[in-house]
Amino acid sequence: MSRSFSLRDYSIAFALLGICLFFGVVEPKFLDSRNLSLLMTELSITATLAMGMLLIILPGHIDLSVGSGLALLSGIATVLTTKAGLPAPLSLSIGLLAGLIIWYGKGVLIVKERIPAFIVTLAGLLVFRGLFWLVIQNQTVPVVAGGQTNLYSLISTWYLPPLAGYALAAAVIVALIVATIKGRQQRLSNGFEVESKEASFLRVFIATQAALLFVILTNQFRGIPSPALIFAAVALMVYVLTQHTPFGRYLYAIGGNAEAALVSGVPVSRVVIGAFAIMGAIVAVTGFMLTSYTGNSTTDLGEWMELDAVAACVIGGVSLRGGRGTVLGVLAGALIMATLLNGMTLMAVSPEYKLLVRGSVLLAAVWMDVRLGRQ
């Protein structure tokens, strides 16, 4: 059997194209090489957090605390580096470990104590923001002390050299072709549904063009920014986890029907708790990237980022009911959100209108999810 592109695939592509054309015409600086490089960095931060949100939504949960959480975890690392004088690698490791432990604990509360994820994470949103303000003492704490460069600051300021960028793109294209061929053969041998050859070729062709265009655009400025490399690593991990491991299949099964999954022998509790623990690590990494990009930990760091992460997932075809969603779809949704924010910033749109647009986009995405779910 074969499957073709869905209405959502086309709608996302046309929406993204329309947004880019609009900003390209209204604000010429949008297509400037420097701005496009900054857009890649902003996209990487949003998309990395959205990848973690994908793992939470697939089994039918939600996490409203990620914005405050990334602020807290990065704030801990920033204070330890700048004020306590610890080496940046050690401070970042402490922040990462804290994320794993805190989110593991949230997963236990949700699964073992049967407290709805909405309530647990809503409480976390408030608690983490308060703890963050206590950690930074309501002050702006810079990433580096005395203007000295360290690993923390390099997270968003290092660039991959142009030649290395082309080599990386070539490796990615070859890996994509091989993975597509092997994936089709494996699914056919198991009697599963596959895309038509034309659809598979078109997906690989578009991905190849996108990879080359990405490298060409970023090389016009300084090269591939380090946040893009971090995002690529996280996205690859989530893709392999969701598509090629029993853990990933369990996530989809739980989101499709948790009771049936439990009866079938799926370790529901362990899988959900594990998903939240992984989310904690991704939240920490996102916080490190955002803080390095802004140059400091300040009181409003990470505000509304939970909205952007959820919106990226829903726009990309992830069902809020669980059981449906892909890494590529989330990337497309994150690209739409990052492009909107970048374009509005260039146009000097006031913060209140930015919130109106972000909220409207989220509402429209959920409406589309509900409408398509009825078909």
Query: Could you please report the per-residue DSSP string of 299-331?
Result: TTTTTTHHHHHHHHHHHTT--TTSS---HHHHH
* pLDDT score of 147: 61
**Low-confidence residues of the chain, pLDDT below 50?**
1-4
Domain-located, residue 213: no
* pLDDT score of 210: 84
Domain-located, residue 3: no
* pLDDT score of 2: 42
Partners of residue 3 on adjacent β-strands: 195
Give the C-alpha separation, 287 to 333, whole Å.
20
Domain-located, residue 81: yes
Domain-located, residue 140: yes
**111-125: pLDDT as tens digits:** 999 999 999 999 999
* pLDDT score of 181: 87
Residue (of 337, 335, 330) closest to 316 by Cα position: 330
Give the C-alpha separation, 237 to 118, whole Å.
26
Domain-located, residue 166: no
Name residues whose C-beta falls within 8 Å of residue 48's C-beta, 6 or more positions apart in sequence. Answer: 227, 230, 231, 234, 235, 282, 285, 286, 289
Residue 32, both tokens: 């400037």
Name residues whose C-beta falls within 8 Å of residue 310's C-beta, 6 or more positions apart in sequence. Answer: 53, 57, 62, 362
User: Which residue segment(s) compose the domain that 82 sits in?
Assistant: 39-157+225-374
Residue (of 202, 65, 91, 72) closest to 130 by Cα position: 72
Domain count, the chain: 1
Helix (H) or strand (E) holding 159: strand 159-160
Name residues whose C-beta falls within 8 Å of residue 271's C-beta, 6 or more positions apart in sequence. Answer: 59, 247, 250, 251, 254
Domain-located, residue 307: yes
* pTM recorded for the entire structure: 0.90
* pLDDT score of 244: 85
3-state secondary structure of 84: coil
**154-207: pLDDT as tens digits:** 898 899 999 999 999 999 899 888 888 887 887 788 777 777 778 788 878 888
Domain-located, residue 129: yes
Domain-located, residue 28: no
* pLDDT score of 4: 46
CATH of residue 235:
1.10.3470
